[in-house]
Amino acid sequence: MSFFTDLAHQYIDGEWRTGSGSWDIIDFNPYNGEKLASITVATVAEVDAAYRAAERAQKSWGTTSPYARRQVIERALRITEERADEIVEAIIDELGGTRIKAQQEVHCAADFLREAMQLAMRPEGEIVPAREETRENRVYRLPVGVVAVISPFNFPFLLTLKSVAPALALGNAVVLKPNQNTPVVGGGLIAKIFEDAGLPPGLLNVLVTDIAEIGDALIEHPVPKVISFSGSDRVGRHVASVTASHLKRSILELSGNSALVVLDDLDDEGLDYAVDAAVFSRYVYQGQVPMAANRILVDRSLEPEFTEKFVARVRELNTGDPRDPDTHIGPVINDFQAEALGGLVDQALAEGATALVEGRTIGNLVEPTVLTGLPADSPLLRQEIFGPVALLIPFDGEDEAVRIANDTPYGLSGAVHTADAERGVNFARRIDTGMMHVNDTTVRDEPLVAFGGEKQSGLGRLNGESTVDAFTTRKWVSVQHGRSRFSL
């Protein structure tokens, strides 16, 4: 099978279709510019067709035995594992992920599919005490109905499955819009896996389109009850505004500006480990990760030694062809992103920052950069930098570290390195983020642990029980076994 030939289509009500729009989305390999696919966009009419198909199919799926739903997810897991090598190659081609990154994404996606299998059996009803002895209060967990999933380009296979698989396992239908930069890995490939797993037609629909074609039709449509969106805070705020005006539930995983903090009590071994964690936290997948450590905060007593070691490690990173196993940093997603990153570095230097490492931009390849000495009022310290640019910031004592770490409108993830784990925990509790990791990377996601951010980094949580809350609703059914007394 050629993914980029066979799966570059709309998928509606169990059929692979050509969109009826008047223009095409071109899918490019970001490393070499090769055209992978051309997909005619879906229109508002196809948005409606996808939602109506989902609405029809969900009625029976929602009452299907959870054991049967679990079997579909189990087959999807088996197919994913069988095709892992092909999927890895597609990730490398479509989004420029290095081989290690692509393999890790497929591995993590399999873990989330395993958890989705369990989620099918997770919802439990309750018997709640009633005021009258003759009354019985039952609270049922039911699927919400139809879920819209809008997925990002950076981890399209993992993050799409992270919402799609649990939503289906819990008895919902899904309409999925993948990012325009990854329409196959984040869209058609997901549909094919579930089609081959025996998912009934209509329960998963994929629309490859753009807001320029459909406007807000995907989130304004009356059928979906929950919108699961991963992407920038700018778009996320719009999604939240529209969904709120229609009284829909939104689950938003948005931008970040994470800090990795190095406290003053590390010995040489601990400092070396913190350097390794910082390099990974900043440069994994070219820094195109909301959890990535934009800012690396180091106690001033350790700053000279940490900086020397960090810069030396960064200089060892190889930038180039993501298919080469020796490549650490591949291309950013497109030329717009590459140019924007160059502009941010120029801005920082104009503000008085010093480039300890200043990488070149060659096409979509952006070599790593390390900046220090930014003025405290620099806007770069408070915004997300979606690329391989690290900001080193010294601090004097824990209180100043907390102030700097929290001085951002975002609050997704973070990390702190210290010789005293409990000191790290106490520090972590003072940081206004949804997630904080002691003596580890800022980039962590596990199927059982609530994932999400504070402030402008999102609304709601996913994973484990949080996913059950996101994609189900509670319904109270009371039974009166005697006769009620009425006041009128």
**Cα separation of 427 and 265, whole Å?**
13
Model pTM greater than 0.85?
yes
Q: What pairing do the DSSP bridges indicate for beta strands 293-299 and 389-395?
A: parallel
Q: How confident is the model at residue 437 (pLDDT cuts 50, 70, 90)?
A: very high
**Cα separation of 168 and 112, whole Å?**
13
Question: Using an 8 Å Cβ cutoff, are 393 and 383 in contact?
Answer: no
Give the model's pLDDT for residue 485: 87
Domains and CATH numbers, the chain: 3-254+457-476 (3.40.605.10), 258-438 (3.40.309.10)
**Cα separation of 373 and 348, whole Å?**
9
3-state secondary structure of 60: helix
What would the pLDDT profile of 138-195 be if each residue is shown by its tens digit?
A: 999 999 999 999 999 999 999 999 999 999 999 999 999 999 999 999 999 999 999 9
Of 230, 209, 255, the closest CA to residue 152 belongs to 230
Of 417, 412, 372, the closest CA to residue 391 belongs to 372
Q: Taking residues 380-395, what's their average pLDDT?
A: 97
Mean pLDDT of the chain: 97
Give the model's pLDDT for residue 124: 85
Of 355, 48, 9, the closest CA to residue 184 belongs to 9
Q: Taking residues 284-306, what's their average pLDDT?
A: 98
Chain centroid, CA 262 distance in Å: 26
Give the model's pLDDT for residue 169: 98
**Cα separation of 173 and 206, whole Å?**
12
Produce one character per residue of 313-333: b if its CB has 16 or more CB atoms within 10 Å, e if not. bbeebebbbbbeeebbbbbbb
What would the pLDDT profile of 26-59 be if each residue is shown by its tens digit?
A: 999 999 999 999 999 999 999 999 999 999 999 9
Give the model's pLDDT for residue 75: 98
Q: How many CB atoms lie within 10 A of CB 81?
A: 14
* Sign of the C-alpha dihedral computed for residues 226, 231, 235 and 241 taken in this order: positive
Q: Which helix (DSSP H) or strand (DSSP E) does residue 458 occupy?
A: strand 458-459
Give the model's pLDDT for residue 122: 87
Give the model's pLDDT for residue 1: 67
Please list, in sequence order, all residues whose beta carbon lies within 8 angstroms of the beta carbon of residue 97, skipping any fewer than 6 positions away. Answer: 91, 105, 285, 322, 330
What would the pLDDT profile of 217-248 be if each residue is shown by its tens digit?
A: 999 999 999 999 999 999 999 999 999 999 99
Chain centroid, CA 76 distance in Å: 20
Q: What pairing do the DSSP bridges indicate for beta strands 204-206 and 173-177?
A: parallel
Question: Using an 8 Å Cβ cutoff, are 196 and 189 in contact?
Answer: no
Please list, in sequence order, all residues whose beta carbon lies within 8 angstroms of the beta carbon of residue 105, skipping any fewer than 6 positions away. Answer: 91, 97, 155, 157, 158
